[in-house]
Amino acid sequence: MDPYFLVFAIMALGAGVFTISARDALPSALGLLTVFIALSALYLHLHAPLIAIFQVTIYAGAILVLIVFVIMLLMSPGQTLRHLQKNLSYRIMGGILGASMIALLVIGLKGLSDMSRPRELPQGFGHPSQFGDLFFKDYLMHFEVASILLLVALIGAIYLAKRKA
Amino acid sequence: MAGLTEYIILASVLFGIGAIGFLTRRNALILFMCVEMMLNSVNLMLVAFSHFRADMAGQVMVLFIYAVAAAEVAVGLAILIALFRHVKDVDITKFHLLRW
């Protein structure tokens, strides 16, 4: 087993468990940040340097900062949510559903790994120039649609957050 | 070099952890983070398949998931702030505007 993969896989899984088990939202956000960083390291290993950079700038830099900002906005200091943890039936049912989902995914998707024989990677695989070629030629239409989606989401978010109750 | 199977298992378990968190936690902000974790595990799977099948399209797909995730977080957190004005709490069991 590859030690690089092993280190960051364990880091991602451990931080993921911490994210869902932390008492408060802020430590939870810190765990999520660790998950993002570990996955970014794995992307580097998979010849996707551009995705690794986007992972850090967009996820860790923009989305997580937005989440932390809202945590700071909504939760007054010292306010903990310990009383939210007590519901045992939630935990049992959620655990069973999640465990069966993991089993289903692993069993279902493992078959796919046989048909993908590890080919020789073509010259310059994962290079940003190749990525840009594909992105702005084959997927230009999708790119425009995504930009409209972001614009609509921006307008909607401003409208929702500014509206008086 | 870890094979595709290891990446599939890692992404599936990460998705499952996110799903368990989404189903068991009651803090709406943590639910958002669990959704982000599930989206991230799908991204990992796409990049792994892209690498092992030597096809760049998977990496482009990840970028579109980023756009959708950013839109989802922006609108979701705005809804949460609007809800917080009414309920003064982030406990999802306190939100019963649409419940009998």
Structural domain spans, chain A: 1-108, 127-164
Structural domains of chain B, with CATH:
4-94 (1.10.287.3510)
Q: Which residue of B has its CA nearest to A29?
A: B33
Of the candidate CATH numbers 3.40.50.300, 1.20.120.1200, 3.40.1280.10, 1.10.10.10, the domain formed by A1-108 belongs to 1.20.120.1200
Say if residue A85 is exposed, middle or buried (CB neighbours under 10 Å; 0-12, 13-18, 19+): middle
Location of structure tokens 């700038």: A57
Query: Which of B24, B56, B80 has its CB closest to that of A91?
Result: B24
Please determine, for residue B52, whether its predicted confidence score (pLDDT) is greater than 90.
Answer: no
> Which pLDDT does position B68 carry in this prediction?
93
Residues of chain A with pLDDT under 50: none
Which of chain B's residues have a Cβ under 8 Å away from the Cβ of A41? none
State the Cα–Cα distance between residues B6 and A45, nearest whole angstrom.
Answer: 13
pTM of the model: 0.89
Min Cα–Cα distance to chain B from A135, Å: 6
Q: Nearest-CA neighbor of B56 among B68, B42, B65, B46?
A: B46
Q: Nearest-CA neighbor of B44 among A83, A28, A163, A9?
A: A9
Q: Could you report the predicted ipTM of this complex, rounded to two decimals?
A: 0.91
Please answer whether residues B14 and B37 qualify as being in contact, where contact means their C-beta atoms are separated by less than 8 angstroms: yes
Query: Which of B9, B60, B79 has its CB closest to that of A106?
Result: B9
Phi and psi torsions of B91, nearest 5° = -75, 120
Query: Could you read off the pLDDT of B1-41 as tens digits, one per residue?
Result: 678 888 999 999 999 999 999 988 888 899 999 999 999 99
Contacts of B4 (CB under 8 A, 6+ apart): A112, A113, A116, A118, B48, B49, B52
> Which pLDDT does position A115 carry in this prediction?
63
Please answer whether residues B49 and A132 qualify as being in contact, where contact means their C-beta atoms are separated by less than 8 angstroms: no
